[in-house]
Amino acid sequence: GCPLVYFDNAATTQRPRQVIEAITETYEMHYGNVHRGIHRLADETTELYENARQRIAQFLNAKSHEEIVFTSGATAGINLVARAWGDAYVQEGDEILVSELEHHSNLVPWFQLAERTGAVIRYIPITDEGLLAREQLERLLSPRTKLVAITAVSNVLGTIVPLTEIIAAAHATGALVLVDAAQSVPHRKTDGQSLNADFLVFSGHKMLGPSGVGVLYGKREILESMPPFMGGGSMIREVRMDGFIPGDLPYRFEAGTPPIVPAIGMKAAIDYLERVGLERIDQYERELVKRLHQELETLDFVRILGPKPEEKSGIVSFVVERIHAHDIAQLLDHVGVAVRAGHHCAMPLHKRLGVTASVRASFYFYNLPEEIERLLEGLDRAVRLFRRRK
Ligand code: PLP
């Protein structure tokens, strides 16, 4: 009964008509399987699918489209690296360095790798403000460090991580770097070559695209050195009775029918985002963050988690004194405001901050400043209701 305010963009975004139309048109007019048909529909689909890969390579300023592997999402990309690269190169006693900011998707695959290999997981700590304790980095990096797996932007605190510095320091000790860019690629310009990460992952559904598709970007020479993770059709050059020869990049990491139409939809999403402009998107969302911060800072019963707005991307998480985050989110939902409540797949981070759950408002460029007022009104109602009940 009231207009929707959608502040759950870090979980997933809404898609514009252009993306939905690209998907519908593919299914209606150009749909076959990729890389295997000799007929026209299969050719058309293959062309659209490979165009999407080219477009993503250009969007990320990758050196080549061979560095773009389609996955089902950021999580799948991290798991692919943990399995294909990790199982081949990580041994007992080697160290994987993560941070206290990580999403479970950038923790659990490394725990699993550690279980398989005897590797050790170490953490770059954060400060009480939710910033990375950079001065600890030198101490933690050593010749034993095989990989630094780190988020670009915290999905809870919005903290922007100083990647350039971390990547340079990691490379200086011989470690590779995987960047979990699920919360940054949709909102901020990403230049793969100047960033110089070895792996970078993100998801289509967090950037106006369909669910079920994501990208693993990897440096060509590193991807080439990795055995395939999943076996099946399309990832081979040749199969004999007694074995197989893997195919070339990037297909050797795309076993089976890939997320064809979602990848095509993701291209349409990128076209849309670039028309709006990523610099503008970033700037605009930071204005929204500043505004919400200013308002929440006046409420003595609210604790904002994480750093100052200047150090944040478009995410604001907070806790309300004596009211559980789920209750706040439910009451906000009654007035049409969608936020997320809980641990946001970052339980270790919540533990570090001394809370079990938080309320998260996460923005995208289609959100409006007035919508922040709606959130604040809803919050006020919720707090008054709870105080009356006590
Ligand atoms: N990493 C971060 C920082 C995230 O915020 C998310 C999703 O919330 C993921 C990884 C996992 O993304 P997906 O579920 O699309 O694989």
Q: Give per-residue pLDDT as tens, 144-185.
A: 999 999 999 999 999 999 999 999 999 999 999 999 999 999
pLDDT digit string, tens, across residues 241-290:
999 999 999 999 999 999 999 999 999 999 999 999 999 999 999 999 99
* DSSP run (H or E) holding 294: helix 278-297
Distance CA 244, CA 264 (A): 30
The pLDDT assigned to 102 comes to 98
Is a pLDDT exceeding 80 seen at residue 389?
no
Mean local confidence (pLDDT), 299-314: 97
Q: Smallest Cα–Cα separation from 149: which of 93, 221, 75, 250? A: 75
Q: CB-based contacts of 223: which residues, under 8 Å, 6+ apart?
A: 66, 67, 69, 249, 250, 253
Q: State whether residue 77 is helix, strand or coil.
A: helix
- Report pTM: 0.98
Distance CA 147, CA 91 (A): 12
Ligand 1 atom nearest residue 151's Cα? 3
Is-contact 326 166, C-beta < 8 A? no
Ligand 1 atom nearest residue 180's Cα? 1
Active site residues: 345
Is a pLDDT exceeding 70 seen at residue 142?
yes
The pLDDT assigned to 387 comes to 82
**Nearest residue CA, atom 14 of ligand 1?**
75
Q: Residue 318 forms beta bridges with which residues?
A: 304, 359
Measure 181 CA to ligand 1 centroid, in angstroms: 9
Is a pLDDT exceeding 80 seen at residue 368?
yes
Mean local confidence (pLDDT), 323-340: 97
Distance CA 179, CA 164 (A): 11
> Strands 176-180 and 199-203: what pairing?
parallel
Is a pLDDT exceeding 80 seen at residue 36?
no
Is a pLDDT exceeding 70 seen at residue 390?
no
Is a pLDDT exceeding 80 seen at residue 351?
yes
Q: Which residues line ligand 1 (CB under 6 A)?
A: 10, 73-75, 103, 105-106, 151, 155, 180, 182-183, 203, 345
Ligand 1 atom nearest residue 152's Cα? 3
Which band of pLDDT confidence, cut at 50, 70 and 90, is reported for residue 107? very high
The pLDDT assigned to 138 comes to 93
Q: Smallest Cα–Cα separation from 352: which of 22, 131, 29? A: 131
> Strands 120-124 and 5-6: what pairing?
unpaired
Is a pLDDT exceeding 80 seen at residue 321?
yes
